Structure 1
Amino acid sequence: MNLHEYQAKELLSRYGVPSPKARLVRSVEEAAGAARDLGGASWAVKAQIHAGLRHDAGGVRMVSSPEAARAAAEDLLDRPLVTPQTGPKGKLVRSVYIEQAVGAARELYLAVLVDRSRGRVSLIAAREGGNDIEGRMAAAPGEMLRLVADPEAGLDEAAAGDLAARLGLDGAARGQAVDIMKAIVKAFGDLDASLIEINPLALTNDGQLTALDVKMVLDDNALFRHQDLAVLRDEEELDPTELEAQRFALNYVHLDGNIGVMVNGAGLALATVDLLKQQGGEPADFMDIRPEATRGQVDEGFRLLLRNRKINAILVNIYGGGILRCDTVAEGIAAACKAEGLRVPLIVRAAGTNGELARKILKAQGIPVNFADSIGQAASMVVAAAGREAA
């Protein structure tokens, strides 16, 4: 679950991570008053959307008067903001964060994430933060500093101090950096986060560290432990189909292609999407049916595909095993087709437990299906079918 910048900063403030004084506003009328109340000589007016690279897209405006803050808010609110992470349609700006500007002598990078290669939570840092950090790290991987946290003891204070020194910090700033590192590692565990990123972490002109921007992603699967955090979900930021899929415990991500995809298992779903791309196809979605899915959940998931008018063909790639059997998936597909109607070619690869039974069920229900014997054959068939439909 993605959080907005203002939400992430509020959560980290509970752990002692400093950030500039700021206020969220949702109307143009509030903007000038917010700047006056915050005080100072200049402010940043920041669009609040679930996407990065806002600054380069004009989503962050530096202003030097309350009237200019109002004008910036007027330019941003209720308009789409297009960044490299939003897609061409952009995302509608429904609120802006007005933040007191601070003078930064340096900008650093700090993040906590799960290092899957080590099976540990890791702290990532760099001497230079700011825009395009991913590109700069890829070009110069040696600039990325890493510190692995102990799963029980957390972050070693001495090691954190060494890391702060390698970032070029000394004196009070070095001690403050250690406190911030320990705080975000603790927050990561307490909140069941999958990412906490401070970029940039500014060293101000008076030698203090402050978080100028924060990105935080929480693990949806752990929200049952955090009802107070679940209410932070901004449903207006979500694709309506993705939100509907969540209601039925389906892992679904909307994509821009014309081939509908339904697969059981995230790894198999990723492999299927990759194979379609390799063969020249464009997936319209990533849909992973969970192992414990019921016929009703499959039914609802398949209806989402049938309602997508951009889809020209559908691929179902199912490997039955464990809890979920192929016949359960076939029954759900048949129910959805009966209710919604099947207007595009359907290719099904059903292997594993009750794979043959799944074929018989779909045939008996009169569903027009093309069966494939392998994932490679299935991908070739659906790419060809989607191309014919598009023509």
Structure 2
Amino acid sequence: MFFSEHLSKELLAKYGVPVPAGRLARSPEEAERRCAEIDAKKYVVKAQIAAGGRGLAGGVKFAATPSVVTDEARAMLGSSLVTAQTGSAGELVSAVSVEEALDLAENYFIAYVLDPATGTPMLLASSEGGVDFEERSKSDPNAVKSILVGEDSAETRTALADFLAGVGITDPEPVEILLSARSAFETNDMTLLEINPFAKTNDGKWVAVDAKISIDGSTLFRHPEFESIAEAQGLSPSEMEAQKNNINLVKMDGSIGVVVNGAGLGLATNDMIFDAGGMPANFMDIRTTATSFDIAKGVSLLLAEPEAKVILLNVHGGGMTSCDTVAEGVSFAYSRSERHLPIVARLAGQNSEWGNRILRERRIPVETFDTMTDAVTRAVELAN
């Protein structure tokens, strides 16, 4: 679950991470009024969407006066901003952030992710931040350095200071700021905390000029304060409906509906579809708490997608989600839908034989395979 820039910085500020003075506006007139509250010499207007890449797509505009702020806000609000991360449909701009424009002396890229091997927050840093960072990092794999950052201690502070010096940050203040950011990352179950740029202003202050965070959607039961944010962040109706039914769903532009339990398996399945020449219609992660009725809802959402031509069911039963539970959900969905897309199924693990039997005996239009490769290959054939 991605947060917009304004919400990301609002949360980081609560942990002591310095951010520019800014206000949210949902109309051009409100944007102009916000200028008086900020009392800045110059301003920047930023489209508030969950996707990144706004700067290169016209979603960030500088303005010298409040009247120019009004004009820029009017141009953005109500438009669909298409970036490298939104897909061709873009993302609706329903709000803008009006901020103080700062004069920057140094720009850095900073991010926290979770190290999968140790479960420890990993800090990524580069000496070159800004809107062109992603392209530069692709051409130079050594542009980004990393370090595991443990709990606050004298040893951690020394290691962090030495690491930052290696990317050009020698001031002591960023150590404190990045430890505060680590606390925000861990406390709020983030999967990503990106600050780009993390900058030093001409007057020597360090500030998170832009920020983006992602919260693990499966931890929302620990964070009821984020539920309203999830509803308002620009998810499609089908994605919101899936969230309510214990399924993480992200719409994509392809023709293969994917039903998978587990985020890692879901990502691997989508990668295999791309490698085989196909295009997934979605990313899906059936949470461990999902019932067969929840799964039925998720499958029904895929059946309702007009671009979907086939359903790829790739499930590894285990823990709290068994193959027969998923098969029952598929059966429920097909019994309630007039659209019966062909299914290519690969079931493995707990109750896989029983799951395959359910699909066959309920007269679901299914072909079963023993391996992921064979299932993906057949799904791509049917979709094409």
Shared fold (TM-score, shorter chain, > 0.5):
yes
| Corresponding position of 2:270 | 273
Tell me whether 59-68 or 18-27 shows the greater mean CA deviation: 18-27
| Corresponding position of 2:120 | 120
Tell me how far apart the structure 1 counterparts of residues 154 and 268 of structure 2 sit (CA, whole Å).
35
Q: Secondary structure at the match of 2:57?
A: coil
Change over 3 Å in CA distance of 1:272–1:13 after alignment to 2? closer
Cα distance per residue 1:168-199 (max 9 Å; x no partner): 345xxx12212212211122122222222211
Tell me how far apart the structure 2 counterparts of residues 224 and 343 of structure 1 sit (CA, whole Å).
34
| Corresponding position of 2:250 | 253
Q: Is the 8 A contact 1:43 1:64 kept in 2?
A: yes
Cα distance per residue 1:281-308 (max 9 Å; x no partner): 2111122333453221222122112111
Change over 3 Å in CA distance of 1:53–1:183 after alignment to 2? same
Larger Cα Rg: Structure 1 or Structure 2?
A: 1
Cα distance per residue 1:204-251 (max 9 Å; x no partner): 111111221111112223332222233332535112222111111113
| Corresponding position of 1:160 | 160
Q: 1:92-241 residue pairs with structure 2 within 5 A?
A: 92-151=92-151, 153=153, 156-170=156-170, 174-241=171-238
Tell me how far apart the structure 2 counterparts of residues 143 and 362 of structure 1 sit (CA, whole Å).
50
Tell me how far apart the structure 1 counterparts of residues 143 and 374 of structure 2 sit (CA, whole Å).
44
| Corresponding position of 1:26 | 26
Residue 3 in structure 1 maps to residue 41 in structure 2: no
> Of the candidates 283, 308, 312, which is equivalent to residue 315 of structure 1?
312
Tell me how far apart the structure 2 counterparts of residues 325 and 117 of structure 1 sit (CA, whole Å).
26
Q: Is the 8 A contact 1:155 1:185 kept in 2?
A: no
| Corresponding position of 1:47 | 47
Residue 81 in structure 1 maps to residue 54 in structure 2: no
Q: Is the 8 A contact 2:231 2:240 kept in 1?
A: no
Shift of 1:69: 0.5
Q: Secondary structure at the match of 1:46?
A: strand
Change over 3 Å in CA distance of 1:295–1:64 after alignment to 2? same
Change over 3 Å in CA distance of 1:267–1:233 after alignment to 2? closer
Change over 3 Å in CA distance of 1:83–1:155 after alignment to 2? farther
> Of the candidates 361, 376, 380, which is equivalent to residue 358 of structure 2?
361
Tell me how far apart the structure 2 counterparts of residues 189 and 203 of structure 1 sit (CA, whole Å).
25
Shift of 1:338: 1.3
Q: Secondary structure at the match of 1:199?
A: strand
Tell me how far apart the structure 2 counterparts of residues 154 and 48 of structure 1 sit (CA, whole Å).
38
What percent identity do the matched residue pairs reach? 40
User: What 5-or-longer segments of structure 1 have no aligned partner?
Assistant: none
| Corresponding position of 1:386 | 383
Tell me how far apart the structure 2 counterparts of residues 155 and 149 of structure 1 sit (CA, whole Å).
10
Tell me how far apart the structure 1 counterparts of residues 277 and 59 of structure 2 sit (CA, whole Å).
35
Change over 3 Å in CA distance of 1:118–1:216 after alignment to 2? same
Tell me how far apart the structure 2 counterparts of residues 341 and 259 of structure 1 sit (CA, whole Å).
18
Shift of 1:120: 2.1
User: What 5-or-longer segments of structure 2 have no aligned partner?
Assistant: none
Tell me whether 184-193 or 361-370 shows the greater mean CA deviation: 361-370
Shift of 1:67: 0.7
Q: Structure 1 runs of 4+ off > 6 angstroms? A: none
> Of the candidates 333, 336, 341, which is equivalent to residue 336 of structure 1?
333
Cα distance per residue 1:70-99 (max 9 Å; x no partner): 000000001111111111111111111111
Change over 3 Å in CA distance of 1:175–1:269 after alignment to 2? closer
Tell me how far apart the structure 2 counterparts of residues 306 and 116 of structure 1 sit (CA, whole Å).
34
Q: Is the 8 A contact 1:326 1:358 kept in 2?
A: yes
Cα distance per residue 1:110-157 (max 9 Å; x no partner): 222212245421222222210132332343343433332124749722
Q: Secondary structure at the match of 1:56?
A: helix
| Corresponding position of 1:66 | 66
How many equivalent pairs are there? 384
> Of the candidates 341, 346, 356, which is equivalent to residue 343 of structure 2?
346
Change over 3 Å in CA distance of 1:193–1:329 after alignment to 2? closer
Q: Is the 8 A contact 1:303 1:336 kept in 2?
A: yes
Q: Is the 8 A contact 2:217 2:248 kept in 1?
A: no
Tell me how far apart the structure 2 counterparts of residues 208 and 121 of structure 1 sit (CA, whole Å).
25
Question: TM (normalized to structure 2)?
Answer: 0.92
Shift of 1:358: 3.2
| Corresponding position of 1:91 | 91
Tell me how far apart the structure 2 counterparts of residues 304 and 101 of structure 1 sit (CA, whole Å).
43
Q: Is the 8 A contact 1:120 1:151 kept in 2?
A: no
Q: Is the 8 A contact 1:43 1:62 kept in 2?
A: yes
